[in-house]
Structures are given as structure tokens and as C-alpha cells.
Structure 1
């Protein structure tokens, strides 16, 4: 076989194993299922729900503290979801050729991590206040409801809730809202954890090394 024929054969083989490389994903295939659209939608819905429940809690009594009405956690998750929608609109490239795409993905990863931490923190606060309000013994005192953990203890800490006309709202409705906050923030934490995991997996697990493994006849590419 001549030199020219060998060169032609090598070029043909090289073209063949380049053709075996992974084809780009079809951007029009199942666009609704693409990351991070679903995660961003869930974050938006849960963020709105957490914020709405927090303002309903605040309407019970203006004496409730900010840690008892975590509207701030819901607002933060709404902002994270907006960034997720922006990330979805940017053409996704695993090799991060676009600096804008890299910055948005990094920011979304960091904010999802912060959202996860905040949701766990809200669950801790809500769980503590749920157990506390479940044990309250309350008495009506004018326009306020005065509650104690132990009515027989003269030095027990007293909780006064202004603007409450019926103490049943504190021991019943407010307790239910704390339980609802635990459930919503648990779901919110799980969604943020999924967002963090998918971002990490796309960045560090799914990419092509560009190295051919085995003999030229196998024409396989290593995926790690």
C-alpha cells in the first residue's frame, strides 16, 4: 500500500471516530423537563407559599418576631428561582465557553446552597416554636393573650401576644402554621438540595475527556 493510500485511510478512520463522538443535545426535546426549569418552578411555588403563610402568621399578632414569621426565607427562594429561570434561558454548554453562563451557574449553585441552609434554619426555629406553643397555657388579658409554659411556676417565662382577642388562635391556629412552615421548608430544602446536586454533577461528573480508550477499531470515547 502506498504512502498516499495510508494517509487517506488514516484520515477516513479519524473521521469515523470523530463521528462517533457524542452529539449535542436537542434543545427542543422535552424543554419542560430540562434543568433548571422544574427546580426553579418548585422553588418559586414553595417560596410564595412560605411567604404567604408567614404573613398570615404575622396577621395573628404583631408581637411575633421575625424568626417566628419567616417571610424572608420565602422571598430569598423566590429570588433564587428567578435566577434559575435566567439560567434556563441561557444556552447551556457543559464546557462553559460562555463567561456569562459560568457566572450565572456559579451564582445559582451558591444561592441554592444558601437556600438549603436557610430552610434548615427555619425548620429548626419552627420546630422549637411548635413544641413551645403546643405546651402553652394561655389566659386572656384585655387586648393581649398571656401564655406560660407552666401556670404553676411563678417565675416561668411569660409570652404576651398583643392584638389577640381569643387565646385559641395562639394554641390552635398559630401552632398549625408552625407545623405548616416545617413541612414547606422541608420541601424547600429538598428542592434546593436537588438543585445543588444537579449543578455539581453537571460540572464535575458529566463531561468528555476527549481521549480515546482502546484500539482505534473500537472508536469509543471515555465518559467520566
Structure 2
């Protein structure tokens, strides 16, 4: 009778396979702990991007904000903190707590924004990297003046204040541009993975709240 009742969907014993999938307490779904690893990666990448950006800003105060994307790293650190909060929230079926629903929505939205920001940073850094490759630079007092076409007297010039050695622009800054592109590419992939997994676990793994059997058994069916 007990095995028949379990097969009918109303038994209390969900079996070792179901318990392994849903967690040791039988209520936490297998997808709930997923933000932990992604949040750790986002935190490390955010700190790395911000640190490299501040090192770039130290080369010259003339660098623009789009050339030193510390804002992208700070944003990813905020996303990672939200991921840690999401991991610490107790899972309840059908998102029956307002906090759980709000944090999930914010995490999904911020991961999406982080993906867009990372793509923008890659575009900005790639543009400045391509410009720096064609620079012809010379030192003037305390500045470094670079041009794309030294033969053109009215050509566009780029002045880097406080740079006494132009190799800091033509070598060090180019390396930082390339490093930012790589870091933000990985950052974009991690944000994309976080947003995708949140969507996937919301609609394919999280319990939808459809109750089967008697109210005392509380058997939840995944849809």
C-alpha cells in the first residue's frame, strides 16, 4: 500500500533520487545554490576590472571615463553581492516570499545590464586600442602628444598630461586596453550565464507550486 501510494504521487517518501535532486531537506531545489559560483566569479572579475582601470587612470589624468572603465567593475561587484544574497535566501516553492521574488528579478536585470555594459567596454577599449596602434608620439615638457598622421599639420592630436615617457602610452596603455577587453569578455560571458541560469531555473527547474495529493503531504510537481 505504501509503494502504491508513493507511485500515485501522494506519498511522503519522495525517494533517494528525488531527495538528492532537491536537497537534503527535501524542499530546496537543486538549482537554488547556483548563484554562489557565478557570484564569486563576478566578484573576482569586478575587482580585476576596477583595479586595472584605476591603474590606467594613474598613467594620465587626461584619460576619459570610457578609457578607464572602473564603473563596469563596480557594477559587477554589486551584482555579485546580490548573488550572495540570493544564495542565502531560503527557497520556498512558487516564490511565496516578496524578498525572494524581488532579489531574483534584480539579479536577472543586473546580470543583463552587466552583459550590455561589458560589451560597451569591449567596444570602447577596442576603439582606443586601434587608435593607439597608429600613434606617433613625442614628449613635450611634462606631456606626451600623439598624432595619427604626423605629416598632417592640422591632424588630430591626443595630449596625455603628466606623461614624461611616451612608452607608457604606446606600450603600457595598449596592454591595459587589451587586458580590459579580455576581462570584460569573460565578464560578459559570466553575466550571460547568470541571466540564462536564472531564467532557466525560474521556468524549468524551480517548483511551480502545483500541489498533488492531500494538503498534508505537500508534494510539488515540477513543470
TM-score range (shorter-chain normalised) is 0.7 to 0.9
> Which aligned pairs between 1:15-26 and structure 2 lie closer than 5 A?
15-17=6-8, 18-19=10-11, 22-23=18-19, 24-26=22-24
CA contact 1:94–1:202 (8 Å) conserved in 2: no
1:88-123 CA deviation, whole Å, 9 max, x = no partner? Answer: 111123521221111111110000100010000000
In structure 2, the partner of 1:216 is none
CA contact 1:149–1:157 (8 Å) conserved in 2: yes
1:180-224 CA deviation, whole Å, 9 max, x = no partner? Answer: 000000010010001000000011122567599xxxxxxxx9754
In structure 2, the partner of 1:96 is 95
* TM-score for both structures, normalised by structure 2: 0.83
> Which aligned pairs between 1:1-224 and structure 2 lie closer than 5 A?
13-17=4-8, 18-19=10-11, 22-23=18-19, 24-26=22-24, 34-207=33-206, 210=210, 223-224=222-223
Q: Aligned equivalents of 2:206 and 2:178: distance in 1?
A: 43
Question: Mean Cα displacement is larger for which, 200-209 or 81-90?
Answer: 200-209
SS of the residue corresponding to residue 64 of structure 1 reads: coil
RMSD of aligned C-alpha atoms? 2.7
1:124-176 CA deviation, whole Å, 9 max, x = no partner? Answer: 00000011111100011110000011111222111000000100110000000
SS of the residue corresponding to residue 165 of structure 2 reads: coil
* TM-score for both structures, normalised by structure 1: 0.83
Query: How far did 1:12 drift?
Result: 8.1
Question: Mean Cα displacement is larger for which, 16-25 or 38-47?
Answer: 16-25
Gaps of at least 5 residues in structure 1 are: 1-8, 213-220
Paired residues, number? 205
Q: Aligned equivalents of 1:223 and 1:79: distance in 2?
A: 32
SS of the residue corresponding to residue 183 of structure 2 reads: helix
Q: Aligned equivalents of 1:208 and 1:94: distance in 2?
A: 5
CA contact 2:93–2:207 (8 Å) conserved in 1: no
Q: Aligned equivalents of 2:182 and 2:46: distance in 1?
A: 13
Query: How far did 1:25 drift?
Result: 1.9
Larger Rg: 1
SS of the residue corresponding to residue 166 of structure 1 reads: coil
Q: Aligned equivalents of 1:94 and 1:57: distance in 2?
A: 47
Check 1:133–1:103 CA distance in 2 against 1; reply closer, same or farther (3 A cut).
same
